[in-house]
Each structure stands twice: as structure tokens, then as C-alpha cells.
Amino acid sequence: MTTTRATETFRRFRRLRSSEAMRSLVRETRLSPAGFVYPLFVVPGEGVRTEIASMPGQYQISIDEAVREAEEVVSLGIGGVLIFGLPSAKDEAGSEAYASDGIAQRAVRALKTAQPDLLVITDVCLCEYTSHGHCGIILDDGSVDNDRTIDLLAQVAVSHVEAGADLVAPSDMMDGRVAAIRSALDRSGFESTPIMSYAAKQASAFYGPFRVAAESAPQFGDRRGYQMDPANSREAMREIESDIEEGADIVMVKPALTNLDLIARARERFDLPLAAYNVSGEYAMLKAAVAAGYLEEERATLELLTGIKRAGADIILTYHAKEAARWLA
């Protein structure tokens, strides 16, 4: 006996969920390794590969190992790498950050020589290079001197591009640094090199594992005097807008998971390519839950990355890049 139902009174969404082929046909958001950027922590030495305890599967690696990583990144179709350098010595002014033979500059040269087609992005900041661990020059009152710092950051950016970097990414959150970097690059003949600014970057607890990995924790105080208050969303839009006015080519929201609303707002408001940084603490949380047997790794990771993409990010900086690229293949 068949029951007659007034099917016009409700919608049958399940029609399009009946098979993977059907679901795949109507899928709105697709991840692609080409939109991932994989961060690398480069240290002095040779044959070094030290696992970062709080970030299982991520390593501090020497330049020769980074070259091996680069080959793998290229073969997986990942969009690019983001270089963080850990210098052999730190000082008050972070001088190795802008030395032509600094760790990041040497890493960039080696990577571009070995893999000329790989997009090499550099993180432009001083915190890994300063003895005090802050992102700039410290004043007597313990705060960071904005305007002296941006001159140094401009030098860092120029030295990275001289070494061959394709794209520079200032992560310091000083005011005016994008303008300072843009004009320094232009004066040095690098008017064609784009800037990806960490535009709305918050003072976040989720950078904890990174600071262990990059040995960049501040030795006193915190970064709340320059990084954004996570509570502010209108201010985040003003930060992004001002970086665009100063000449940013790509803008970033960071962290990603706690800021899907900011990613969505920025996507609606600005037409530039938008990046989101799926930060170390987000990675560590997921890995810990997987290790405890609480989450299914592949599904959870891809769902998380899909959420960031669906919110509006074109580019996702993520420690999951290699594994996700393998799962997507």
C-alpha cells in the first residue's frame, strides 16, 4: 500500500546526498593543495631534524633537510612554503634577521636554487632573532619602538627578496610596516615582489607551540601592545583596510579557527586574495585529540580546513599541508 504524501509541502535535500558521486557533483567548497602554504622552521647545521614536541610531525630542520622538504612540497602540488629562521645567535636588535647570510636568507637561496618553481614566502619579523623575543626594538619602558622597528623590518624584507624570496609576509603588527616595506622594496628595484600582510593578527594563546618551535617567546611581558585584541572585529576590518591602503597584495587573518567570522567579513568587504593562518595551537589541539583517540584524523583535519576555506579564505597557511595534500590526492 502506498501512502500519498503532499511532497510539495517539504523539500527533499536528501536527493542530492544519495551517493558520493552525487555529493561530489554538488559540493560547494573544494580544497586544493595549491591553496596551502606549508611553514618550515629552519635551523643552522646539517642533517638536523628535531621533532617539535608540541607539534607532532613538525620539525626544526637544517637547510639541507629543508631542500628535501621542498622537493616533497612541490611533488604534492602545495602552493608554497613559509620560511621561519632560527638564528645561531640573538641580540637586542635582531641583527641576523636582516643579515645577507642570515639563516632565512641562506635557506631561501638554497630552496630557490633546488626548486626554482617553488613559491618561497618569508615571514618578516624580528621575534625569532631578538634576545628579548619581542617583534621589534625595545624602548626604556619595555614597549616596542614602532617607527625604528619598521625601518628594520623593511631591511629584513629587502634582504629576503635579495636572497630570492617570491613573497614577503610581515607578521609583527607594527603600524605602517607595510608602507615601509613597500617603499623599501620599490627603492631596491623589487617593485614586482608582492607583500602578504598578517593584517588582522591577534595576541593569541594559540601561538604557544609555535613559540617553542621558533624559540621566540617574549622574555618579559607579552605581545598585547602590538598584536590585536581577539575581541575586536571592527578594528580587524580597519587593520586590513589600512594594510591594503599601504600596499598589501594579499591580506591575512590569524588565527583561523577562532576567527571564521572575520574571514567571512573580510571576504565580503575586500577583493584581494585572502589568507588564513591555521596556527600551531590549532594543529596541536587536533593532534592531541587524535592521539587520545578522540577524533578521526583525516576526516577531522579535512573538515577543519574546509571550514576555513568555506568561510572565505583563498589561501590556508597550515602545518597540515602535506598530509592534507596526500589525502586529497
Residues lying near ligand PBG in the complex (CB under 6 A):
123, 125, 127, 135, 171-172, 207, 210-211, 223, 279-280
> CA-CA distance, 236 to 23, in Å (whole number)?
36
Question: What pairs with residue 200 in β-bridges?
Answer: 253
Which residue has the CB atom at the shortest distance from ligand PBG? 210
Task: Name the burial class of residue 115, with classes exposed (0-12), middle (13-18) and buried (19+) by CB atoms within 10 angstroms of its CB.
Answer: middle
Closer of 62 and 204 to ligand PBG (Cβ): 204
Instruction: Please state the closest distance from residue 169 (CB atom) to ligand PBG, in A.
Output: 8
What is the three-class DSSP state of 235? helix
Question: What one-character-per-residue DSSP string does 193-215 give?
Answer: --BEEEEEEB--GGGHHHHHHTT
Q: How far is the CB of 125 from ligand PBG (least distance, A)?
A: 4
Half-sphere exposure of 63 (CA within 13 A, CB side): 18
Residue with cell 629584513: 156
CB of 319 to ligand PBG, least distance (A): 7
Question: Smaller CB distance to ligand PBG: residue 134 or 265?
Answer: 134
Nearer to ligand PBG, 7 or 83 (CB): 83
Looking at the Cβ atoms of 90 and 223, the one nearer to ligand PBG is 223
CB of 250 to ligand PBG, least distance (A): 15
Cβ at position 172, least distance to ligand PBG in Å: 6
Burial of 100 (C-beta count, 10 Å sphere; 0-12/13-18/19+): exposed
Residue numbers annotated as active site: 201, 254
> What is the sign of the dihedral through the CA atoms of 241, 247, 249 and 254?
negative
Contact indicator for 185, 158 with CB cutoff of 8 Å: yes
Q: Looking at beta carbons only, is 165 or 293 nearer to ligand PBG?
A: 165
